[in-house]
Structure 1
Amino acid sequence: MKIYPHKKNSAMADLGTAIGVGLLAGLAGTAAITVSQMIEMKITKRKPSNAPVDVVSKVLDVTAVSEEKKPKVSQEVHWAYGTTWGVARGILSLAGLKGWTADLAHFASVWGAALVMLPRLKVAPPIQKEDPKTIGTDILHHAVYAVATGLVYDMITRKK
């Protein structure tokens, strides 16, 4: 992808483009997973997760100002985390993975990180202790994220 048509692309320009487009795509993916979760919670009557704020509290040794602020902080962390994971999609593209292959690798990275990180921080049980419905729902939401992120990334970087 040429950023400046009159100049040859440099590795740094390509990296910058991958990061920038990845952030935009990650933001779109985060919007998609948020909508997916809202629809699912409405159907199943599940309450929003405090996992994002709980993880940040443990990793950074900070706490929300009050219990009332926890949902807001959790949403802020959710959006920052999801947007940032879009960078990984850009890096996958730089590594030569494109389209569905990159989307699948991105999904595996994002979901795999959650499967390792959340139980290790004691924010969620290990997958073998989860029921199949919960696992399926989690896979669905992460797939929505990865596909939406990939579609936006590919749309922005598509050559005419």
Structure 2
Amino acid sequence: MSTSAAVRGMLAGAAGVAAMTLGEKLEQRFTRRPDSYVPAHTLERLLGRPRRPDSRRLGMNWTMHWGQGILMGAVRGVMAERGFRGPVGSFIFLNLRLINDQALENATGVGAPPWTWPVDEQVIDLTHKAVYAFATGLIADLLVAGPPHTPAPRPGWTTPRH
């Protein structure tokens, strides 16, 4: 793993968070969905800070929202360097981002397992995280060189060997 790939991935992560945030704000204009303060309350618990009303947690909300996305971008940068690139790399990264969110939110007791959410909230969350993952991946793939050699395709177990 190179530090350069991680740092460039963090830049890609910042771009991904910007794209996700823009999409969220646009979606909220149509759905009238309020801002979520789950990021703030998750960080609050991680830091052992007392619970405060949402109105007093905007800074903490943005810190977790942007910080988590930027730091996860480092992972996508390393993925790009190691050959996990393009749409498949971004799809794998989407799952890492979802796991990261759910692990932190549920371990702190702030969140609930996504299968307990209303379906519309699941769709909205997956859509926004996909925007983040694919935007981050696109930028990471542009900023980080891949491996010098692509691995040779492995024959499938159903394909006869000649």
TM-score > 0.5, shorter chain as reference? yes
| CA-to-aligned-CA distance 1:46-81 (integer Å, 9 cap, x gap) | 111111110111111124787543123201221111
- Corresponding residue for residue 40 of structure 1: 27
Runs of 4+ with deviation above 4 angstroms: 63-67
1:1-160 superposed matches below 5 A: 15-63=2-50, 68-157=55-144
Aligned length: 146
- Distance in 1 of aligned mates of 2:133 and 2:112: 23
Distance 1:29 1:60 in 2: 25
The structure with the largest helix share of the pair is 1
Structure 2: state its 5+ residue gaps.
Answer: 147-162
Give, in whole Å, the separation in 1 of the partners of 2:115 and 2:52: 34
Give the unaligned 5+ runs of structure 1: 1-13
Distance in 1 separating the partners of 2:49 and 2:92: 32
Q: One-letter code of the match for 2:65?
A: H
- Per-residue CA deviation, residues 96-125 of structure 1 (Å, 9 max, x unaligned), is 212112111110100122233323322222
**Contact 1:64/1:73 (8 A) holds in 2:** no
Contact 1:64 1:70 in 2 (8 A): no
- The 1:67/1:96 distance shift into structure 2, 3 A limit, reads closer
Alpha-carbon deviations, 1:18-42, whole Å to 9, x = none?
1111010000001011111111111
How far apart in 2 are the matches of 1:88 and 1:40?
27
- Looking at structure 2, the residues matched to 91 and 74 of structure 1 have their Cα atoms a distance apart, in angstroms, of 27
Matched-pair contact (CA < 8 Å) for 2:13–2:73: yes
| Alpha-carbon contact 1:57-1:63 (below 8 Å) kept | yes
Q: How far has the Cα of 1:95 moved from its partner?
A: 3.0
